[in-house]
Amino acid sequence: MGEKKVPDVLLNTGHKMPVLGMGTSVENRPSNETLASIFVDAIEAGYRHFDSAAVYGTEEAIGLAVKKAIDKGLIKGRDDIFITSKPWNTHAHHDLILPALKASLKKLGTEYVDLYLIHWPVRLRHDLENPVVFSKEDILPFDIEGTWKAMEECYKLGLAKSIGICNYGIKKLTKLLEIATIPPAVHQVEMNPSWQQWKLREFCKEKGIHVSAWSALGAYNIFWGSGAVMENPILKDIAAAKGKNVAQVALRWTYQQGSSAMVKSFNKERMKQNIDIFDFELSEEDLEKIKHVPQRRQYTGDMWLSEHGSYNTLEELWDGDV
């Protein structure tokens, strides 16, 4: 089967999470059947962690893939797969988080998620016609405390084995930690060799929060991304010297930072390559070179907004302190 074993990281809840996850956000989403067969290929290649969200529309396909993988004997049961999901910003409110999780569980066909993450520290009007297109007027005040208390409730009910956040800056995270009874287990942020997040990672390390990377390859070939990672000459040189490709070097870099990475490829061969990062190591010299990769955030959020919207405040909304 050629399946690779992905190491786990131990979260502050005592649960283990595979350090490499299959990202499932997809433009021009294919049918659930098609997606499920792609996800079964991923399980066959060794992936045991699927990163989803309400807004991705891929939860049903993941649920279907888990059932198919069990039927094929690739896994013994649901417990062999680590599933992450997130409520969308239209549900980022104390009274809407639990119903959002219940809706996700229904789509996934499971009784719990392994990890439930607040997708953004942003709240939108609940009744938006298109939840991903909004204007400044649709952005409501985000209640850090109320939203987190609802997440803690999901955890206490056993519907989410671990809970966490995405895309918080240090200021918002500090406020959250002041009111949290249960601290976040995971903080998922944009992170890769071209956006290394040193300050935020150091802060999370001090607080016992695991940092997980989305856009681990710089969103290459995606309209908002760039070649900042995949075309970087420093990474290309290291890859050539190691007999690996740039994606493998970038993912290995994330792993050696003590972080996990969400990576997406629906191509069978690249799926296998992306998981094949545990048989080599980056030296201190390599890591020092990677520190000199030019730093720039890729995802600015302007693609969320309608042409009438004002997006220059979005970064301020997310973190306000980077």
Catalytic residues: 56
Do 22 and 39 touch, CB atoms closer than 8 A? yes
Asked if 108 and 60 touch (Cβ cutoff 8 Å), the reply is yes
Alpha carbons 241 and 44: distance in angstroms, whole number: 29
Q: How far apart are CA 104 and CA 111, in angstroms?
A: 10
Cα–Cα distance between 301 and 287 in angstroms, integer?
Answer: 30
Block residue for tokens 């048989």: 279
Nearest to 195 by CA among 127, 254, 268: 254
Dist CA 71 CA 203 (whole Å): 43
List the one residue out of 188, 169, 171 whose CA is nearest residue 260: 188
Residue type (1 letter), 143: D
CA distance 59 to 7: 24
Distance CA 69, CA 78 (A): 9
